[in-house]
Chain A
């Protein structure tokens, strides 16, 4: 091993800083990587530190090569590939550790720092929550501080100095970062096709409905989406958020099914409510909107069934504006094929329910609306219970629920009601989505949580089109009026956050939760969901409507130029030559102040002589003046400038009566 050129020498004090930075940046990968990945990287870090301490010899070239091959092999064995997010990150983590292990020279250290920044960025592909973002600020800080120490030369700076400098440089970088973030032209969509990730364990509605599939969401306090309204917020009973619509029933499970398309309808434009939804990622393609949406945001379309579907699965927080018209008539004319699909029941399903429906039909004849009312009345009068923990259903789920257990959650009611309607010859379908929402005063928006998940029925009535019927409302009206928490206020089997007691601790917790959520709301709106769409909105708000990317580049260049010019100006001003002589400046201030106090110092008068004169003429000023003269001379002519002495010098200057006192004297003198 030849000694590195001085140019390429790594100051020894940089190694612990590098190890600390890597440790901080790597640690969060422990959440989503197999434990051995991070352990191996940790071993490499520790090994290098032991080499640094002189405890163990450095690994040779062959050993390092072997370790690199072994690490690659392990990743291949675990994932079967090196491409994709998880194996890529595993490889990056291991290689960063090994690169650090072989770091000997300046060049290696620089590479390790760059790898460290890469490790930081890969964390964002797993989470973009505020806590992780804050943690990553720390990681960037540590990595940059390590970079500073790598470059600091052999007589390295004290820790305080290098940390201060790092903080200063990062703070100075913020304005430009903000400008680039908001004005850099955003391109929609992926540049290249990404390997399909395993669906992350996100909570949200699913693409089917069976007993238990909605009530499981009640366990989750996580936000589903947040809505701001341009005008009035609709009342609690109107807050139905429309999601996927299910037609096909196989006796147990509801699915979308293959339904013939509907004839195009002209969506009503009057009496619409404009609202903006900030939707948490759920990995599916539907977008939630107030029932019933009549317009689709960009990159999404309105389906025949009246819900929104995005072009891409929702993997990031997205924000979109949409217009809805509560109570709008959907499909005033139902085609034969669609009618058939909306009446379809599996041949052997629910014989008792069919019998019940036939009975209602006999009573009310051709009056569909009366049959609907009769069914709702049945739910109201029979001893049905609205519960999160219904007894399990085995054989024919609908019959068992309607006539035996009579206990269920909204999916039980919506499913059974739809079956009843179809059995009575009324076209019906299941709509899933959310119902309710908490108004957040701090953020002026409605927060809809996963626990607000809901399912209801739509029946098609002659002359009215698809009409919403919510059997859950018949059983538990408080669920619709006051939210799911009210419906379960006494039930200890539901999650604690749903039971709104009224004790002060619960209220405080609720309030804190709302504040925290409004923080998340702004985070989502301004950071996570900031894409091409939001950028257009922002520019429109700035009065730059319809700006194309060229104009945007120009705008970005101008803003960047302004910031850099300002920065350069401040920089050159602060560092102008001749460098400010701090002692001289303090002396000028000292002279000015004493002149105001009525004892001007003659230009030829040395400070010690002046101090003696002041002691004679103005004994009340003697202390600070003598002190100033003493410290000044020590600093000016003494051997080493001592910061403590400098502070004392300033202290003496401050101890002199200030501007106010001087003015007071001036005013008093004439009188």
Chain B
């Protein structure tokens, strides 16, 4: 019953504010406001003050009570205004490995001429971050969420809330920002994986020296791997040279799902992840084969990302939270 209600509430909120956009501007339909418990306490204080004023027929006590009551109702508008018009933009997030902390960056822009203060941005279930946004300015804020499992981390509805300026009301808004973070598998050295037969075979594959025969030196260009720099030549000549190898056809390294004997899907992905990192670190040209997926051998940062993304997305439609 409760979950059903909750689902319906979320559906309602979601209808009011479309999900999966990169930027939202908070208009007054998507800002909710309720008294905090301090607001209720304050109301109680006012009732006591009013009784005292009536009892002692004290005009100034009446005036103070009514001033504070008016101030309290005024605070509602100011708290509401503290969120109104804010534009929250999702900034690109770097993928992380499972077990690391995802860093979700947002930019909160204030188009108004009143500074916004005492704002908190939080993902459900995680500690929030306080922020303030100057007038006509913006502020960056980064939420950190532990990425526990491989796949796609969806932080879900973020909540931006505030009780500034008087703490008597809390205004909040749910932000449905597209915010998927790729979570690569946790790299798992094959030696550590369960099962004994694999290491030799795997070692044989990945410990191959940078492929091919040495064919000569060429001048260093930015982007070349430091591993290929001929340090002896540097010592001799004072110039940076890079060793070039001839890579024989068919000598490419294939990181293959089917070559791994051990474990369940996640373990295999973790091992493949480790291998991708090692191959990339050794600046090898390597390809990746997963069931139904084949990434042609290549090298470089883009290739590494592509491979890791395949590992992250493998059989993973995406998950809420982490």
Q: Using a CB–CB distance below 8 Å, which chain A residues touch chain B?
A: 6, 106, 110-111, 114, 117-118, 120-121, 124-125, 128, 133, 136, 140, 144, 147-148, 150-157, 161, 165, 169-170, 172-177, 180-181, 184, 186-192, 194, 315-316, 527-531, 564, 567-568, 571-572, 575, 577-579, 581-582, 640-641
Neighbouring A residues of B85 by C-beta, 8 Å: 575, 577, 579
Give the contacting residue for A110; candidates B27, B117, B167; CB below 8 A.
Answer: B167
Contacts of A117 in B (CB 8 A): 45, 49, 64, 68
- Answer whether residue B102 sits at the interface, using C-beta atoms and an 8 A cutoff: no
Give the 4 A-B CB pairs with smallest separation, nearest first.
A176-B70, A173-B70, A579-B111, A180-B66
Question: Assuming A176-B69, A572-B28, A582-B136, is B130 touching A154 (CB within 8 A)?
Answer: yes
A-facing mask of B61-92, CB < 8 A → 1, else 0?
11111111111011101100100110000000
CB of A527 within 8 A of CB of B59, answer yes
Q: How far is the CA of A628 from the CA of B11 in the complex (A)?
A: 49
- The one of B84, B111, B165 in contact with A169, judged by C-beta atoms closer than 8 angstroms, is B165
A109 to B127, CA, bound (A): 22
Known A194-B55, A581-B111; contact A153-B118, beta-carbon cutoff 8 A: yes
A184→B62 contact, CB < 8 A: yes
Q: Give the docked Cα–Cα distance between A571 and B113 (Å).
A: 14
Which residues from chain A contact B70 at a C-beta distance below 8 Å? 172-177, 180
CB distance from B119 to the nearest CB of A (A): 7
- Closest residue of B by beta carbon distance from A171: B74
Cα distance, A191 to B57, chains bound together (Å)? 10
A184/B66 contact (C-beta < 8 A), A124-B61, A128-B58, A582-B136 known: yes
- A-B pairs with beta carbons under 8 Å apart, 8 shown: A106-B167, A117-B68, A136-B64, A147-B165, A169-B78, A170-B71, A191-B55, A192-B55
Q: Which of A151, A156, A575, A641 has the most CB of B within 10 A?
A: A151
Q: Contacts A120-B64, A192-B55, A531-B59 given; 15 further ones with Cβ under 8 A?
A: A6-B127, A117-B45, A118-B45, A147-B167, A151-B165, A152-B164, A153-B117, A157-B117, A169-B71, A173-B70, A174-B70, A180-B70, A316-B56, A528-B60, A529-B59
Partner of A114, one of B41, B61, B117: B41
Q: Which of B54, B128, B137 contacts A191 (CB 8 A)?
A: B54
Instruction: Give chain A residues whose Cβ lies under 8 Å from the Cβ of B166.
Output: 144, 147-148, 151, 169
**Contact between chains at A128 and B52 (CB < 8 Å):** no
Give complex CA distance A161, B132 in Å.
13
Cβ–Cβ < 8 Å partners of A192 in chain B? 55
Q: Is the CB of B77 within 8 A of A567?
A: yes
A641/B137 in contact, CB under 8 A: yes
Within residues 112 to 140 of chain B, which ones have a CB less than 8 A from any CB in chain A?
Answer: 112-113, 115, 117-120, 127-128, 130-132, 136-137
- Which residue of B67, B84, B136 is within 8 Å of A140 (Cβ)? B67
- Closest-CB distance, A109 to chain B (whole angstroms): 9
Q: Distance in Å from the Cβ of B251 to the closest Cβ of chain A?
A: 51
Contacts of A530 in B (CB 8 A): 59
Contact B84 A575 (CB under 8 A): yes
Q: Are A568 and B77 in contact (CB under 8 A)?
A: yes
Which residue in chain A gives the minimum CB-CB distance to B25? A577
**B245 in the interface, Cβ–Cβ < 8 Å?**
no
B77 touches A128 (CB 8 A): no
State how many angstroms separate the Cβ of B38 from the closest Cβ of chain A.
5
CA of A187 to CA of B54, assembled, Å: 7
| Residue of B with least CB distance to A114 | B45
In the complex, whether B42 has a CB less than 8 A from a CB of chain A is yes
**CB neighbours of B42 from chain A (8 A):** 114
Q: Which residues of B contact A150 (CB under 8 A)?
A: 167
A110 to B45, CA, bound (A): 12
Binary contact track B21-54/A, C-beta < 8 Å → 1, others 0: 0000101100000000010011001000101111
Tell me if B310 is interfacial: C-beta within 8 Å of chain A: no
Which B-chain residue is minimally distant from A317 (CB atoms)? Answer: B59
Q: Chain A residues with Cβ under 8 A from B52's Cβ? A: 121
- Provide the residues of chain A in CB contact with B66, threshold 8 Å: 176-177, 180-181, 184
Residue in contact with A181 in the complex, picked from B62, B115, B119, CB distance below 8 Å: B62
Is A155 a contact of B57 with CB atoms below 8 Å?
no
Which residues from chain A contact B111 at a C-beta distance below 8 Å?
Answer: 578-579, 581
Smallest Cβ-Cβ distance to B36: which chain A residue: A110
Min CB distance A646 to B, Å, is 8
For residue A134, give the distance in angstroms from its CB to the closest CB of chain B.
11
Q: How far is the CA of A581 from the CA of B62 in the complex (A)?
A: 43
Tell me the bound Cα distance from A170 to B63 in angstroms: 13
Closest B residue by C-beta to A109: B167
Q: Which residue of A lies closest to B118 (CB)?
A: A153
Given contacts A6-B120, A172-B74, A571-B81, contact A128 B64 (CB under 8 A): no
